[in-house]
């Protein structure tokens, strides 16, 4: 059934002068039924191009009632639009010029990237520069005093030099560990058994420290992941908690939402609150507040999650909790493919 005249009259009455582009189209045969003045204004002479892109997107819409996309029509000109199914043949599209908004978010993203890169480079300079400086000073002093010192004193300075070399070598090993992550082998698996495996294989540690652990995950939840790499993510979160929690500390792992793309898994502990300045750097490789921390556990976890099509975030915890990590875990390969199509 096509859109009737009453709907056209309604659109013409309420949306004609609105500062939002309105486009009503018929899918088969392709036909524009209505557009308002603002659509003509934001289209910048590319109304046919916009309509053609929307018609192509409808081929991917299948049974969905709505989806959102954006299109770049030329450099610096981006239109965002939402498509709503009215009937099997008729679709209502809301459009707006989001060029400035997109530039803002792209710049914000680039700024965050360069801030993190600067932080990483500063950390590398610090971790590499300190042992090199100490090594240079130690060897220089040893060289200048070789004729004067006895064997024991010489050996003492040689051991200092070796210690600095070991420190540098360990740091480079951590860098290699972060950069060398194997290819993902994703499949649909149940989520709950993987989390239980982390708990069971660390049961001795849990009992030794008297930790109170609560795990509430729907046994039927399925996710699309590399189970070994996801196990590593959960293990990193767990080991971080064990390090900072006092005896009788609490850990909570719960699923708190499922949509067509992700399972939301929330991991909490009641350790010391994470300072605001630390939250901003917590996923930067090699950043650590612990004296002997490697600084790669959370960075690797985030990298693994994004490789699998999900993500890992740190959030403000509820009262009584010190840390809250939120994992968005992909639910199936088919849904992720549909999402990518929608984003084009």
Domains in the chain (CATH in brackets) are 5-97 (3.30.450.20), 104-179 (1.10.287.130), 187-343 (3.30.565.10)
DSSP code of 61?
Answer: T
- Residue 127 predicted with pLDDT over 80: no
- Residue 206 predicted with pLDDT over 70: yes
For residues 200 and 38, the model is more confident at: 200
For residues 35 and 64, the model is more confident at: 35
Residue 107 CA to residue 102 CA, distance in Å, equals 8
Which segments within the chain are labelled E, that is strand? 21-26, 31-35, 66-74, 77-85, 90-97, 187-190, 212-216, 222-225, 250-258, 262-269, 311-315, 323-330
The reported pLDDT for the residue numbered 84 is 79
Cα-based angle 260, 112, 244 (whole degrees, multiple of 5): 75
Of 111-120, 170-179, 229-238, give the range with the top mean pLDDT. 229-238
- Range 295-311 average pLDDT: 82
SS3 state at 322: coil
How many residues can be counted in the chain?
344
DSSP code of 246?
Answer: P
- Range 29-42 average pLDDT: 77
Angle between helices 191-201 and 227-244 (to 10 degrees): 40
Among residues 168, 130, 283, 269, which one has the least CA distance to residue 213? Answer: 269
DSSP code of 213?
Answer: E
User: Residue 308: which pLDDT band, with cuts at 50, 70 and 90?
Assistant: confident
- Range 243-269 average pLDDT: 90
Asked if 81 contacts 54 with a C-beta cutoff of 8 angstroms, the reply is yes
Residue 55 CA to residue 184 CA, distance in Å, equals 35
For residues 297 and 65, the model is more confident at: 297
- Residue 187 predicted with pLDDT over 80: yes
Tens digits of per-residue pLDDT, 39-90? Answer: 777 777 777 777 777 777 776 555 555 556 666 666 666 777 777 777 777 7
SS3 state at 64: coil
Taken in order 240, 307, 176, 299, the sign of the CA dihedral is negative
Read off φ and ψ for residue 334, nearest 5 degrees: -60, -45
Residue 2 CA to residue 260 CA, distance in Å, equals 30
Largest CA distance in the chain: 104
- Predicted TM-score of the model (pTM): 0.51
Token output for 116: 């993190």
């Amino acid at each position: 059934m096509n859109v009737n005249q009453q709907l056209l009259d309604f659109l013409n009455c309420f949306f004609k002068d609105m500062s939002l582009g309105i486009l009503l189209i018929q899918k088969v045969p392709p036909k524009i039924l209505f557009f308002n003045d603002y659509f003509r204004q934001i289209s910048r002479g590319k109304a046919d191009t916009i309509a053609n892109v929307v018609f192509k997107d409808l081929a991917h819409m299948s049974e969905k009632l709505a989806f959102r996309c954006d299109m770049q029509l030329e450099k610096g000109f981006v239109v965002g639009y939402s498509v709503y199914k009215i009937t099997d043949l008729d679709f209502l599209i809301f459009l707006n010029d989001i060029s400035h908004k997109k530039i803002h978010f792209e710049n914000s993203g680039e700024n965050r990237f360069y801030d993190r890169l600067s932080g990483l480079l500063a950390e590398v300079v610090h971790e590499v520069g300190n042992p090199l400086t100490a090594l240079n000073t130690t060897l220089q002093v040893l060289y200048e005093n070789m004729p004067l010192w006895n064997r024991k004193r010489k050996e003492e300075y040689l051991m200092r030099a070796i210690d600095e070399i070991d420190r540098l070598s360990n740091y480079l090993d951590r860098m290699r560990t972060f950069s060398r992550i194997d290819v993902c082998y994703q499949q649909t698996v149940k989520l709950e058994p993987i989390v239980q495996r982390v708990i069971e294989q660390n049961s001795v540690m849990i009992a030794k420290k008297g930790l109170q652990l609560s795990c509430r995950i729907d046994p039927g939840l399925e996710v699309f992941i590399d189970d070994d790499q996801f196990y590593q993510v959960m293990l990193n979160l767990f080991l971080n908690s064990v390090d900072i929690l006092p005896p009788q500390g609490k850990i909570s792992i719960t699923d708190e939402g499922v949509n067509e793309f992700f399972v939301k898994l929330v991991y909490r502990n009641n350790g010391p609150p994470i300072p605001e300045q630390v939250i901003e750097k917590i996923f930067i490789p090699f950043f650590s507040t612990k004296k002997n921390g490697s600084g790669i556990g959370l960075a690797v976890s985030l990298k693994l999650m994004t490789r699998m099509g999900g993500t890992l975030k740190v959030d403000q915890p509820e009262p009584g909790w010190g840390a809250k990590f939120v994992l968005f875990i992909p639910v199936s390969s088919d849904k992720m493919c549909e999402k990518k199509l929608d984003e084009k």
